[in-house]
A and B are shown apart, each in its own frame.
Chain A
Amino acid sequence: MNNINDLKSLELTVGDVFSKNARLKARNVNVFYGNNKAIDNVTIDIGSKEVISFIGPSGCGKSTFLRCFNRMNDTIDSCVVQGEITIDDENIYDKKIDVVPLRARIGMVFQKPNPFPKSIYDNVAYGPRIHGLSENKEHLDVIVEESLKRAGLWQEVSDRLQSPGTGLSGGQQQRLCIARAIAVSPEVILMDEPCSALDPIATAKIEDLIHELGNDYSIVIVTHSMQQAARVSKRTAYFHLGKLIEVGKTKEIFTRPQHHQTEAYISGKIG
């Protein structure tokens, strides 16, 4: 673990970037948009069944970094990722790796609720269908029901599964997107500011949900709200201008930040 590269990044990052039962490991990751360096030498572990939040001011690269984990940055032509990211010690940027099964293992929930313009049922069933996860129609029904239940949406929509997913309220749509993500039984769920477009009540529901899902999945959540980070996550990572400044237990980050920039952000001086 303590090779020279790790030490180099440790010079930058305060706190404990490593995790004992790490599932995802990022080592010296750099991301470029053309000539613009968006992520600068970030090293971090994400543990198994751990909820970790990425915080930091706008434009600090936390979303960009998040999208490295399931290679969503591939869809942007000018984006180049250097360094190594592994899931269960398998390099996801290896040429042999196919992004399709990778994205089935690492699900994603986006900032704006983006259900497909299809029925609620088809939204959730889409992933299992394209990956061939269900043996028959009954099995698919079970997967859809179970996913919706886990996303806390079943009670609200069980009687109208065939109505359009886009007809739900914003909070319901976001939970539908979470149900869609967990329907393919991923190992990790990436959430990119999942509550930024929602009202406080819907936000509270999603937060409860993240709390519960944290028992089964590794969850990485990018958020602008420090309160939210404090409420849902065990660990917190603070990013600033593409650098990972500090990682630590959420409680400690918010009560005793070690780095002066973290402290400045937490106390509202920057951001």
Chain B
Amino acid sequence: MNNKIITPLEASNKVKKSIAKRRAKDNRLKLYGRVAISLAVCFLLILFYSIFSKGYSGFFQYYVTLDINFDRERIDPKGDLSDNSLFDGEASKIVNESLFSIIQPQGRKAKKQAKKIVSSGKDVRIAKMVKNDPSLFGTTTKVKFALDDDIDSFLRGYIKRETPESERRISNKIIEYIDKLNEEGRISYEFSDYILSGSASGNPEMAGIKGAFIGSMLTLSVCLLIAFPLGVATAIYLEEVAKKNKITEFIEVNINNLAAVPSVVFGIMGLAIFISIFGMPRSIPLVGGMVLALMTLPTIIISSRAAIRAVPPSVRDAAYGIGASKLQVIFHHVIPLAMPGMLTGTIIGMAQALGETAPLLMIGMVAFIVDVPNSIVDPGTVLPVQIFMWADFAERMFIQKTSAAIIVLLGFLISMNALAVYLRKKLERRW
């Protein structure tokens, strides 16, 4: 029976039987796929929801509105609006007086406590205001000041009124004052003007991400300027120019291995080479960018090579056949066709670099730096390191600031990926 050729009828019956099985298999595969995708989407949504719902409050903080008498004599004793003169002035005192006139603290101790209600950045704020607009002098204007971080946490409900005074970070007196301010409608919850334009600060209510953001931009620019040309050139050389032999094979294997090296190792290397041997300063975006460039190079090289390999050989043949030189074939045909793939790889590499903390810790970009870096050789820090540092601080308010910084970082990443998609679509449209 085994040797007999089956008849068409038998064959079609057997096919029919097996079809049900095959269909079931197909459907099961489809189901697994759908489950996996919905799980992934689900987790993503949960992640985004938790980050945004908890983090958005980090962009807001509590302010107190005070009537400030802009007395030129007291704020700007020399009268020339110079930093020195403004520093010598009594801006803080004026703010405190205005505050005291509302809450009426009795005694030295009470006054000392009451002073801390308004953030210590009050004099800087007044100095900035008069510098921007000297016509304020001589007027009495309502000015909003950030509240101290403990007060902010109290108003958010993180510090509870019911907690015994000895275990609370703020005293009953202060709570009394705040209630008074609240009654007068002087306390408001508003979009923070520190979070986006402020820099690192020990006072959480004044801490912002501007310094870290600029630092990230500078570091990434250095990284891009080094890694992209170098990576693309390497990929072109390996794919188009180099002969396939033992040496290129060895290089290839090593590039692939480099892609898997933990990033902190690159940081140690940067510390050893750029800082110890070349004597570059610590904490500067230039060194950070170079270290991150080393880290992203393998990613860019590998994806660029894949993109170059995907260029159809017929296009190369056509160009060679008409008498184009190797360089012309590469620059006129291979690179334009491979560019979308190269860019995608580069942006993925950049996104990796943007989120990298470990190698930057090694080269000292973790330092506490208040000034916003103006160039790639000014000390600075980057967003993920800032997040890492804030997450480590004890003050309650840094939790919200950390969440806000994470949202900014995520937004940065998402817009970079969107740019990658846009560039790919746009360049691919050129047939």
Contacts and interface: CB of A to CB of B under 8 A. Distances in A.
A221 to B, nearest CB: 15
Interface stretch (A2-10, A21-29, A100-108): A100-108
B337 A117 contact: yes
A222 B323 CA distance: 21
A53 to B, nearest CB: 19
B318 A110 contact: yes
Contacts of A243: none
Interface of B: 243-244, 312, 314-325, 328, 332-333, 337, 430-431
A164 B428 CA distance: 13
A114 B431 contact: no
Contact of A75 (B316, B332, B333, B430): B316
Nearest to B337: A117
14 contacts: A70-B321, A72-B317, A72-B320, A103-B322, A108-B321, A110-B317, A110-B318, A110-B321, A116-B315, A116-B318, A117-B430, A117-B431, A118-B431, A126-B332
8 tightest A-B contacts by CB?
A103-B323, A114-B314, A104-B323, A108-B321, A117-B431, A114-B318, A127-B322, A164-B431
A128 B320 CA distance: 14
A104 B322 contact: yes
A118 B333 CA distance: 10
A130 B327 CA distance: 11
Contacts of B325: 100, 130
B328 A130 contact: yes
A99 B320 CA distance: 9
Interface stretch (A32-40, A86-94, A176-184): A176-184
A127 to B, nearest CB: 4
A5 to B, nearest CB: 30
Nearest to A103: B323
B318 A115 contact: yes
A75 B334 CA distance: 15
A126 to B, nearest CB: 7
Nearest to B244: A77
Nearest to B430: A117
A139 interface: no
Contacts of A126: 319, 322, 324, 332
Contacts of A104: 322-323
